[in-house]
Structure 1
Amino acid sequence: MALGSEQRRRERRPRIEGLFAGRQVDAALDLLHLMDMAWHDCYGPRELEVPAAVLDDVLLLAEGDLAALITVAREAVIDFRDVRVAADARRTRSE
């Protein structure tokens, strides 16, 4: 079942609050909303939102930095495979 954008925002809020500074939470959520719209435009009518695995990669690489989130979100929409490779490399270094 597809979720509406406001419901996605509510569900994402606790995670975003744990990653971003208080004043950046709403901006980060706004950006993720824009990312969902861009994803839908790029990947077709059935893709209403960024897949969970791609979102995980984006948030990992952003490291709680709003400017980095903007850059990584854009890269993910253009080619999420590049973001996946970078996130996997980061995970490997963290182990």
Structure 2
Amino acid sequence: MALGSAQRRTERRPRIEAAFPGAQVEPALDLLDLADRAWHDAYGPRDLAVPDGVLDDVLLLAGSDLAALVVIARQAVIDFRDVRVAADARRSG
């Protein structure tokens, strides 16, 4: 588990590179950094970053669409349960 934002970014990079076109990788990683900061403000101080399960849901729903990532990441910080329900519905087909 990553301890700092730079480590989280490094750990997430392969996943983001697989999900987003090359030119969108850095903006997607930047957005996730902002989401981590917002998550910490909303759920901290013990939660420093978006939990892995929530990140899984966000990436699933965003697909490879950077604009969708923005909207869904914001919604996850506001109320991750809504994102979870939508992700579970997508997973179940």
Q: Is the 8 A contact 1:61 1:87 kept in 2?
A: yes
Residue matched to 1:63: 63
Q: Is the 8 A contact 2:16 2:28 kept in 1?
A: yes
Number of aligned positions between the proteins:
93
Residue matched to 1:46: 46
TM-score by length of 1: 0.95
After the TM superposition, list the runs of 4 or more consecutive aligned residues in structure 1 that deviate by more than 2 angstroms.
Answer: none
TM-fit CA distance, 1:10: 0.5
Give 1:67's aligned amino acid.
A
1:11-49 per-residue CA deviation (whole Å, 9 max, x = no partner) reads 100000000000000000000000000000000200000
Question: Where in structure 1 are there 5+ consecutive unaligned residues?
Answer: none
Residue matched to 2:13: 13
Give the distance between the partners of 2:52 and 2:86, measured in 1 at CA.
Answer: 16
Q: CA RMSD in A?
A: 1.0
Q: Is the 8 A contact 1:39 1:49 kept in 2?
A: yes
Question: Where in structure 2 are there 5+ consecutive unaligned residues?
Answer: none
Residues 53 and 75 of structure 1, relative CA distance in 2, 3 Å threshold: same
Identity of aligned residues (%): 74
